[in-house]
Structure 1
C-alpha cells in the first residue's frame, strides 16, 4: 500500500505531474501532427525532463562529478590554510542573510579542518548579484563566530562572485602573504570545475570535498520522478555548462 502511495504521489506532484502532461502531449502530437520536427521536439523534451527528474540523470550527470571529487580528495594532516568556496546565501531581509545549504555544508567541513589543524580559514564569497548589503564571507564569519571560532584565524574574501573570481582574488592574497599551498574545500559536485580553475591560475592546492548532495545507492523509488533528483541534476547540469563556458572563455 505504501509503495502504491509513493508511485501515485510521484505522478501527481511536480516534477512527475509535468512529465505525465508531457507524455500525454507527446502521444497527442504523434497522433495528430504531421510535423516530424514537432514530434521529435516533444519526445526530446519528455525524455530530457524525465532524465533530469530521476536517478537515471543523477547517475549520468551528478555521479561522475562526485566520484571525481572522491578520488582526488585527501585526508587533511599537513598544516596549510583552508580555503572554503561560497555556495550562495539565503537572504531574509536587507540586514540578514544566512549561508545556503551548500554553503553551510562547505563551511562546516572547513571549520572541522580548522579545529583539527589550527590553521587560518579563508572564506571566498562576495555580495550576490542583485543584492547590495551582505557578502557571503561576512555571513560566514558571523556564523563561525557564533560557533565559537576565534576570528583571528578567519580571513574574509568578500569580493568574488564566481568560481573564476574565487581563484583570482585568492591568488592575489596568497602571493601577498607568501602562502604556497592551501586546502580547497567545496561541494563534491563543484570540485572538478573549481580544481580546473585553480590549476589554470597555478594555485597549489589539496582538494577536500565537503560531501555529496545525492545518494550513490538507489532504491527503485529513486527511478520515479522526484524533486530531490531534479534539484541534484540541475546543480550538476550547471557545473557541466560552467565547465564548457570556462573552457570556451580560456579560463581553464
Structure 2
C-alpha cells in the first residue's frame, strides 16, 4: 500500500528544493565581461612596453655605434703585409696611396672600382706616382657593395698569400667593412685605418648630412650582422655603395 504525504508537507519540500537550488550561472556575467575587457588591455600594454624597449635598444645601439666611430684612430704601428681600400667615399684612395708610398704594405688593392674607370684615370685623379701604380697597385672591378669588397679582397689575399692587411675606408664605414672581411676571411688579420668624413669642425649632431650617413650606416651594420647570423641573403644590398 503506497503511503502519501500530506499536501502541506509535499508543498513544503517542493518549496525547499526550489529555494535551495543554486542559481544558474550566466555566460554574460560581470566576471566574464571583466576578463574580456582586461585581456585586450593587457595585450596593448605589453605591445607598448615591447615597442618602448625596442626604441631604447635601437637608440642606445646607435649612440654606441656613433661613439665607436668618433673614437676610431689610425693604428700607431701598421706591421701589415698589404693594403686594401674600399672605394665609395672621398679621400679613401688618396690616403691608401699615401700609406703605400710610406711602406705600410707591399701592394695595394683598390676594391670596387667602376668598370668604366681605368687605372690610369685613377692615377691622374689622385696625382699618384706612375711607377708606384705600375708595380704595386691592383684594381678590382668585381665588388658592387661591402660584401663584394670582402669577397674580392679574400681572392686577392689568397692569390698573394698575405696574413695581415690594412683596411682603408671612411670612419663610418669601417665597422661594417671590418665585420664583412673578418666574417668571410677569419684566417687573415685585418687592421682598420679610418678616413674622416671631412665635414669641418662642426659636431656630428649639428651636421644633418653626417647624422643621415650615420643612421643609414647603422641600419646596414645591423643588417650585415643579421644576415651573417641567419643567412638571409636578401639583406645584402645589391647596389653600388656610395
TM bucket (normalised to shorter chain) is 0.5 to 0.7
Structure with more relative contact order (C-alpha pairs < 8 Å, separation 6 or more): 1
Deviation, 1:235, is 1.3
Shift of 1:69: 2.5
Are 1:246 and 2:224 matched, yes or no?
yes
Please state if 1:235 is matched with 2:222: no
Unaligned runs of 5+ in 2: 1-61, 231-242
Indicate the SS of the match to 2:72: helix
RMSD: 3.0
1:217, distance to aligned residue in structure 2 (A): 6.2
Larger radius of gyration, structure 1 or 2? 2
Q: How many residues align?
A: 164
TM norm structure 2:
0.58
1:54-99 deviation per Cα after TM superposition (whole angstroms, max 9, x unaligned): xxxxx948732423523xx412442521111001xxxxxxxxxxxx
Matches of 2:118 and 2:210 in 1, distance apart? Answer: 22
Q: Answer whether contact 1:82 1:183 (CA < 8 A) is retained.
A: yes
- The 1-side partners of 2:123 and 2:85 are apart by 12
**Contact 1:138–1:156 (8 Å) recurs in 2:** no
Structure 1, unaligned runs of 5 or more? 1-58, 88-101, 128-132, 224-228
2:189 to 173, 182, 204: 204
Q: Which piece of structure 1 moves more, 192-201 or 110-119? A: 110-119
How far, CA to CA, are the matches of 1:251 and 1:172 in structure 2? 23
Match of 2:101 among 115, 123, 128: 115
TM-score (norm 1): 0.56
Query: 1:80, 1:181 within 8 Å by CA — same for their partners in 2?
Result: yes
Cα deviation, residue 114, structure 1: 0.9
Q: Aligned runs of 1:7-86 on 2, under 5 Å?
A: 60=63, 63-70=66-73, 73-86=74-87
